[in-house]
Structure 1
Amino acid sequence: MTVDPSRSAGRMRASDADREAVVEHLREAAADGRIDMEELDTRLGQALSARTHGELAPLTEDLGPVVPAEPLVLKGGMHGATRSGRWKVPPVIRAHAGMGSVKLDFTLAECRLREVELEVHGDMGGISIVVPQGWTVRADELETAMGGLKNRTEGPGTPGSPVLRLTGSCGMGGVVVRHPNFRERRKLRDAE
C-alpha cells in the first residue's frame, strides 16, 4: 500500500504559527482589495478554527502562496541597537546584544500576531524590552545565566493581547522586561 504524500500532508496538524501566517496573508489580501471585508471575516474565522493544513490551504489558494515573514535580527555589536517608534512586528525576532545593549520598544509597534517569539542573547550589553500594558510575557524557556531576568510586567495580560515568548540566554548583561516608564508615557501623550 502506498501513501500519497500530498494527502497525508493535508492531515498534518496546523500550529499557531501556521494559522497566524494565513491570518496575516488574508489581512494583506483585504488591504490590497483582493477580498472584501465580509469575505475576510469569514475566512479569518475558518483560519482561526482550522486544525489541519488541509483546512488552511483552501483559504489562501486563490490569493497566491503564503510567504513566511523573515525574522527581524538586531545586533548590538559595540555601539548598541534600538528598534522603537512605529514598526511592524514579525513573528520571530532575534536580538544579540554583544558589547552594546539592544532595546526593543513595542509601545508604538503594529502587532497583529497572537504570539511573538523573541530569541535573546544578552551577552555583555544586555537587552531591554518595553511592552504595552496588557501584553503577556512568557520566559519559561529563557536561560537566566549570570545577568538574570528582571520581568517588571504585572501577571497575566489582557485576553486577546499579544504574548511575547522569550527564548535564548540572558548572558552577562541580563534581560529587563518592563512597561513604558513615566518619561516614555509622557512622550507618547505629547505625540498624540
Structure 2
Amino acid sequence: MRASDTEREGIAERLRDALAEGRLDMAEFEERLDAAYRAKTRGELVPLVSDLPAPGEGAPAAPVPTGGWGVASREEGGWAARIGRPATSRGGVAVCGGFGRGGRWSVGRAFTAVTVMGGGDLDLRDADFEERDIVIRCFAVMGGVSIVVPPDLHVEVNGFGLMGGFDDRGTGPGSPGSPRVRITGFALMGGVEVKRKPRKGDKPPKSLEK
C-alpha cells in the first residue's frame, strides 16, 4: 500500500518524540527521518518505529512550558518538535529591493542571503529547522541583512566586513537541545546585523530588562 504524506509525517512525529525522550541519538534520528520522508509504501515506514513505544505508551514526558522568556515551545514539543522539518526556503536575493522571511517557516540546512543595494530580513524566532546544524551565508554589497534570533538559540557569527560591518553581538549559547546556527559571509560597503529578541508576547525577566 502506498504511503501518504500524513502517514509519513506521523512517523516523523514519533521519531521526534523518541529523540526528545532519549530513545534515539541524533545520528539514528536523522537516518530514520530521512528514510521516513523518502518512503513510498507503508511497509517501508513500519520498521522505522517498530522498536519504539506506540503513541500513549511509556513514561509520560515532562511538561514543557508554552510561553515565557526563552522557551522553544512548538505545540509543547520544545526544540525537538522544530528540528527535522522539510525546508521551505534555502535563500533570498535582493537587488535594489528587499526580501523577508519570518513567522512560521523552515530554514534549510544551508541558507544563502544576497543583497546588492538592497536589504534582507530573517526572523528565526518562530522558525523550524531542517537540521540541528544550520549555516546562513550572508553576502551584502552596498546593502544589508538583518537577522533576528530568539534568546534560547545557539548562534555563532564569524563573518567579516570590508568598508562595512558584520555585527557579532548575537553570538551566544542556546538552551539544551537548541539547533546550532552559524552565520558567516562578508559585507562590502554594507552591513550584516544579528540581534537577539524575545518572541512576540514574551517578556524578559526583570534581571534582563533595561
Partner of 1:164: 181
Superposed CA RMSD in Å reads 3.7
- Judge conservation of contact 2:89–2:106 (CA < 8 Å) in 1: no
Q: Distance in 2 between matches of 1:39 and 1:166?
A: 26
Instruction: List aligned pairs for 1:1-192, cutoff 5 A.
Output: 32-34=9-11, 37=14, 41=18, 45-46=23-24, 48-49=26-27, 56=31, 60=35, 63-64=39-40, 72-111=90-129, 113-140=131-158, 142-153=159-170, 155-180=172-197, 188-189=200-201
Opposite residue 152 of structure 1, the aligned amino acid is: R
Opposite residue 63 of structure 1, the aligned amino acid is: A
Pairs aligned (count): 150
Q: 1:95-151: per-residue Cα shift (whole Å, max 9, x none)?
A: 0011111110111212363221101101111110000111122123x2332212112
Opposite residue 173 of structure 1, the aligned amino acid is: G
The SS at the match of 2:162 is coil
TM-score, with length taken from structure 2: 0.57
Deviation at 1:156, TM superposition (A): 2.1
Q: Distance in 1 between matches of 2:134 and 2:90?
A: 11
Opposite residue 170 of structure 2, the aligned amino acid is: T
* Structure 1, unaligned runs of 5 or more: 1-27
TM-score, with length taken from structure 1: 0.62
- Judge conservation of contact 1:115–1:163 (CA < 8 Å) in 2: yes
Opposite residue 189 of structure 1, the aligned amino acid is: G
Q: 1:6-52: per-residue Cα shift (whole Å, max 9, x none)?
A: xxxxxxxxxxxxxxxxxxxxxx886534578379728x9556245xx
Opposite residue 109 of structure 2, the aligned amino acid is: P
- Judge conservation of contact 1:95–1:102 (CA < 8 Å) in 2: yes
Bigger helix fraction: 1
* Structure 2, unaligned runs of 5 or more: 45-85, 203-210
Q: Distance in 1 between matches of 2:93 and 2:35?
A: 35
